[in-house]
């Protein structure tokens, strides 16, 4: 299938995990892909993996000026956007009594403030019929210890999808959310836990998933492409949960 032939798609955080898997699938279906990320080395390797006419841009979503800077670069390339997957985000976890202002600010700057002002800057570049997909999380729906700040940021993102749907729909732009459950991505290795403790945590998480396994980035990417595709043209302001039944059963 070439659902995205002659389309331009932006994937933030497209240099690893779910973002990279989504960028690869968009490219396979004919899209010209633009990816962003903070690390130049992984951007370069991701660009080579995705192939085609991929454009890789170093961009930090946690900096509110990154949105206008990204929009300016896209204009320089003469690009308008048919789909955007705002995937970039961070996960910082701590018990409630150990959360400090720095953790709160870092999480909300990247996961909420960044996407909001990035979309604001990109809005003039959306083609009619464009689709926006935000990356939420099942953590917004469950009371998992040590995730209060992360979960709140993802709940804010889900709410944002609904309100921005109402504001952008007159321009012909749809907004939806994909909310993954536990997925095998580099985020776990970045937690800084000892290997034994990390394995124990993963085992505990798997015990809560009816399918008894972690999801894969490709499985979430498939949901992202669906929400961005013409098949989802009648889906607006909706959250598609991809969690192996974690919150539904």
* Beta carbons of 209 and 244 less than 8 angstroms apart: yes
Q: Which domain holds residue 126?
A: 8-240
DSSP for 122-156 reads: HGGGEEEEEEEEEE--GGGTS--TT-HHHHHHHHH
Q: What 8-state DSSP symbol labels residue 97?
A: G
- Which of 4, 85, 93, 150 is labelled catalytic? 150
**Mean per-residue pLDDT, 120-140:** 97
Q: What is the pTM of this model?
A: 0.93
Calculate what percentage of the chain has a pLDDT beyond 70.
95
Q: How many domains does the chain have?
A: 1
- Catalytic residue status for 150: yes
Give the CATH number of the domain where residue 103 resides: 3.40.50.720
- Per-residue model confidence (pLDDT) at position 116: 96
Instruction: For residue 248, tell me if it sits in a domain.
Output: no
* Beta carbons of 149 and 107 less than 8 angstroms apart: yes
Over residues 30-65, the pLDDT tens digits come to 999 999 999 999 999 999 999 979 999 999 999 999
Instruction: For residue 21, tell me if it sits in a domain.
Output: yes
């Amino acid at each position: 299938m070439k659902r995205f032939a002659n389309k331009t798609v932006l994937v933030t955080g497209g240099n690893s995990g779910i973002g990279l898997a989504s960028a690869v699938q968009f490219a396979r279906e004919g899209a010209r892909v633009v990816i962003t990320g903070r690390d130049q080395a992984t951007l370069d390797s991701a660009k080579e993996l995705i192939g085609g006419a991929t454009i890789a841009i170093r961009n930090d979503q946690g900096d509110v000026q990154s949105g206008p800077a990204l929009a300016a670069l896209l204009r320089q390339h003469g690009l308008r956007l048919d789909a955007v997957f705002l995937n970039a985000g961070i996960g910082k976890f701590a018990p409630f009594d150990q959360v400090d202002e720095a953790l709160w600010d870092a999480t909300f700057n990247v996961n909420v403030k960044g996407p909001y002002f990035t979309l604001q800057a990109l809005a003039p570049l959306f083609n009619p019929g464009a689709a926006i997909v935000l990356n939420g999380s099942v953590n917004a729906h469950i009371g998992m210890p040590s995730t209060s700040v992360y979960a709140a940021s993802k709940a804010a993102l889900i709410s944002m999808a609904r309100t921005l749907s109402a504001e952008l729909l007159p321009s012909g732009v749809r907004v939806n959310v994909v909310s993954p459950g536990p997925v095998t991505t580099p985020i776990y290795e970045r937690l800084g836990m000892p290997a034994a403790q990390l394995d124990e945590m993963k085992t505990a998480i798997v015990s809560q998933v009816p399918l008894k396994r972690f999801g894969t980035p490709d499985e979430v990417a498939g949901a992202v492409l669906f929400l961005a595709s013409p098949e989802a043209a009648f889906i607006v302001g909706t959250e598609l949960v991809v969690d192996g039944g974690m919150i539904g059963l």
